[in-house]
Homo-oligomer: A and B are copies of this chain.
Amino acid sequence: MREVGIVGVGHTKFGKTDQDFLTMLGEAALLCLDDAGVAPGPGAGIDQVLVASVGGGMVNRISASASALVDTLHLCPAMAECVENGPASGASAVKLGYMAIASGMCDCVLVVGGEKMNGKGGAAATDFVSTMLHPEAEYAYGLTLTAFVAMFTRLIMEKYGVTAEDMARVAVKNHENAMHNPDAQLHKRVTLEELTEGPDLERKNPLVADPLRRYDMCPMSDGAAAVLLCAMERAERFVKPPVRIAGIGQATDTHVVANRAVPTDLLAVRLAAQRAYAMAGLGPEDMDVAELHDAFQILEIVESEEVGFFPRGEGHLAVRRGDTALGGRIPINPSGGLKAKGHPLGATGVSQVVEIVRQLRREAGVRQVEGAKAGLCVNFGGFGNNVVATVLTRA
């Protein structure tokens, strides 16, 4: 199998944009090509473009946006497809791009993930996100993702002693990290006290779905991110040294959450990480940094256990010790994570890879994890029904 590297990254400022969907994708793509040192056009040598998005059709009413993007970037007759896998769409597109190169069918693949979620009211956005639940067994009954996570959180709290303060600690850490990421949506330092106590708690951090408060989950975001993949043997024509995609693992779990044997396990996270480690010939102890999918702060805690960083039920203790902060044993979400960097669904899996590439290139500035040689991304689809893990290493 041919080895594949990442030779360019691009990222818009996450938040709320006035750009249309296609222009936003184009911005991330142009930043990525510029980072790789190539100009848009047929001379870029791009064989395939993959666009990751969930709401391109439902929210933005565009189909075949990959074809439109190829035209916008003057890349015709390059091949183009859109990829959708709920909130894991971004990593899925990176995986399919990897396969395209590993197969020998392509040398160079541009992957762009993006979502424009604002402009819809809160109820409409919640409904859109809920379409990733099982259509007959869950969505049809009005279940929302937030409701699922609330129930999951309550179980985890009772089983392992995780507290509201532990979840708030994750938020505080990720907001702090985001202060140093210019692409992050939220540049706002918060304290544990603000998020957990005081007479005006309900105003500062209102309850959304008991026990979840606003700061226990990510914001609604617009944004796009892009990576340029290339066969390692062809990577020297780009200006920066490639970062190697050392391993990719993916696993599905029952789509119907009620059918899971142990409702507090995130089995697909565990399997996906194991597969990615096995392909890379590395283990959790070799990871220097990680971007985990903290759409809800409880997920960062449980994922940090499932990927093997901490024993089961002890992820929250690691947070209390500061193990996952910058400077800690294994910094998690130096980018600010979905919590503070933002979570434009289709962009997120690509954005995680962008952050780890920047970390491994030592381009992360104040949030740099010193000496980072290997990193892990976990992109989590639905309520853990489809998870992609990616291991990146310095080439």
Contact = CB atoms under 8 A, between A and B. Distances in A.
Contact of A57 (B21, B54, B80): B54
A251 B64 contact: no
Interface residues of A, number: 65
Given A57-B55, A63-B58, A135 B84 contact: no
A85 B68 contact: no
A83 interface: yes
A282 interface: no
Interface in A52-100: 54-58, 60-68, 70-72, 75-86, 92, 95-96, 98-100
A27 interface: no
Contacts of A131: 57, 61-63
**Which of A56, A68, A96, A385: most chain B CB closer than 10 A?**
A68
Contacts of A72: 255
A63 B128 CA distance: 9
Interface string A267-280: 11001000000000
Contacts of A82: 83-85
A103 B95 CA distance: 11
Contacts of A262: none
Interface of A: 1, 20-22, 54-58, 60-68, 70-72, 75-86, 92, 95-96, 98-100, 102-105, 131-132, 134-136, 139, 248, 250-256, 259, 267-268, 271, 381-382, 385-386
Copies in the complex: 2
A252 B69 CA distance: 11
Q: Which 7 A-B pairs have the closest CB atoms?
A: A102-B103, A71-B255, A64-B86, A77-B251, A103-B103, A82-B84, A57-B58
A234 B229 CA distance: 29
A266 to B, nearest CB: 12
A252 B71 contact: yes
A57 B77 contact: no
A253 B103 CA distance: 24
A115 to B, nearest CB: 12
Given A57-B55, A70-B255, A131-B57, A136 B20 contact: yes
Contacts of A57: 54-55, 57-58, 84, 131
Contact of A99 (B60, B68, B78, B99): B99
B256 A71 contact: yes
Contact of A104 (B71, B102, B139): B102
Given A54-B57, A96-B99, A255 B67 contact: yes
Nearest to A279: B105
